[in-house]
Amino acid sequence: MKTALVTGASRGIGTACAIALAKSGYNIILNYNKSEEKAKNLAKIIADNYAVDVMVSKADVSDKAEVDDMVKEALSHFGHIDVLVNNAGVSLSKLFTDTTEKEWSDIIAINLTSVYNVTHAVLPSMISSHSGSVINISSMWGQVGASCEVAYSASKAGVIGLTKALAKEVAPSNIRVNCVAPGVIMTDMMSEYSDDDLELIKEEIPMCEFGTGKNVADAVAFLASVKAHYITGQVISVNGGMVV
Ligand code: NAP
C-alpha cells in the first residue's frame, strides 16, 4: 500500500489533500506544527472513513532537524513514502519597505527552505525505490507577483524554480516533481480580509467564485496518480481563471 506525507495537513488545503489522498487509498502521514487538536481530529476522520493507516507527526517544516526526525519515524513505520505534498505555508501582506529582515527570512524559511528540508529528507528513499511523486503547493502570486506580498511571492516563485530544476534532476530515477499554483482559496489564510475586500477580490476572478481546498486537492490527487505518469516539472494553476 502506498504512503503519502502531507505537510501542514492540520488545516485548509493540507487537510483537503490528506482526505483526497486517503480516499485514493494512500496511507497518510499528517504533519502539523501548532494545530495538534485539528491534526488529531483529522486523523480520526480519516481512520473512521477510509481503510488506510494514519500517522500524525509534529514538525516545524522550517527546522531541518525536526523534519529529519519526522521522516525517519515515518519511514520506520511505513517503510516508504511514495507521495510528498509540500503544502505548509504562511502568508505576509505588507509593503516591501515595511518588511523586516526577520519577516523576510521567516517566510522564506517556512515557504521555501521547508520544501528543501522535507524533499531532501524524503528523496533518498524515493530514489532507492525508483519511484515517487513530489507535489509542491506554490501560488498564483509565485507566477505573476502580488503587490504588498513581495516576500510571499518570492518564496512561492522559488518553489516553482525548485520544482522545475528538481524535476529534471530526478526524472531518470522515475520521480516526478510538480507544482500546484492555487488562486484565492477560502481557508484561514484568507481570514485577514474583510467581506468588502473579499467582494472586490471576487470581481477579479473570471469564474466569479472562490476556490476550495478540495479544488486544489483534486489537482494534487491527479498529479499523484498514474494518470499523471508523463507529467513532470509543471505548474498546474487552480485559480478560476484569475491568472492565465
Ligand atoms: P492555512 O489554512 O493557513 O493552513 C496553513 C497550514 O500550514 C496549517 O496546517 C499550518 O499548520 C501549516 N504550517 C504553517 N507553518 C508551518 C510550519 N512552520 N511547519 C509545519 N506546518 C506549518 O493555509 P492554506 O490556505 O491551507 O495554505 C496552504 C498552502 O497553500 C500554503 O503553502 C499557501 O501559501 C498555499 N496557498 C494558499 C492560497 C489561499 O488562497 N488560501 C493560495 C495560494 C497558495 P499548524 O496550524 O499546525 O501550524
Q: Which of the residues 26, 32, 116, 152 is marked catalytic?
A: 152
- pTM, full prediction: 0.99
Query: Closest Cα to residue 16, out of 220, 154, 160, 222?
Result: 220
Q: What is the pLDDT of residues 151-160, one digit of tens each?
A: 999 999 999 9
Nearest to 187 by CA among 89, 95, 112, 118: 89
Nearest to 163 by CA among 152, 150, 177: 177
Residue 171, helix vs strand vs coil: helix
Counting from 1 in the atom list of ligand 1, the atom nearest the Cα of 36 is 47
Distance of CA 205 to the CA centre of its chain: 22
Q: How far is the CA of 34 from the centre of ligand 1 (A)?
A: 11
Q: How far apart are CA 94 and CA 112, in angstroms?
A: 19
pLDDT in tens, 62-100: 999 999 999 999 999 999 999 999 999 999 999 999 999
How far is 17 from 119, CA to CA, in rounded Å?
Answer: 17
Helices 64-78 + 114-129 axis angle, to 10:
30
- 244: CA distance to ligand 1 center in Å? 23
Mean per-residue pLDDT pooled into runs of 10, the chain (244 residues): 98 98 98 98 98 98 98 98 99 98 98 99 98 98 98 99 99 98 97 95 97 98 98 98 98
- The residue type found at 43 is A
Residue from 67, 88, 84, 80 nearest 21 by CA: 84
pLDDT at 23: 98
What is the DSSP-derived secondary structure letter of residue 149? -
| Domains parsed from the chain with CATH numbers | 3-183+212-238 (3.40.50.720)
- Give pLDDT, residue 120: 98
> Quick one: pLDDT at residue 68?
98
Report the pLDDT value the prediction gives residue 137, as an integer from 0 to 100. 99
Are 45 and 52 in contact by the 8 Å Cβ rule? The answer is no
Task: Report the greatest alpha carbon distance in the chain.
Answer: 52
Q: Whose CA is nearest to atom 17 of ligand 1?
A: 60
pLDDT at 90: 98
Direct distance between the N- and C-terminal alpha carbons of the chain, in angstroms, rounded to an integer: 37
> Is ligand 1 within 6 A of the CB of residue 198?
no
The set of cell numbers assigned to 152 is 510571499
What is the Å distance from ligand 1's center to 30 Cα?
A: 13
Q: Which three cell numbers stand for residue 227?
A: 494518470
Contact 180, 219 (CB under 8 A): yes
According to DSSP, residue 49 is labeled: H
Respond yes or no: is residue 32 known to be catalytic. Answer: no
DSSP one-letter code for 140: H
Q: Is the CB of 32 under 6 A from ligand 1?
A: yes
Which grid cell is 198? Answer: 473579499
pLDDT (0 to 100) of residue 60: 99
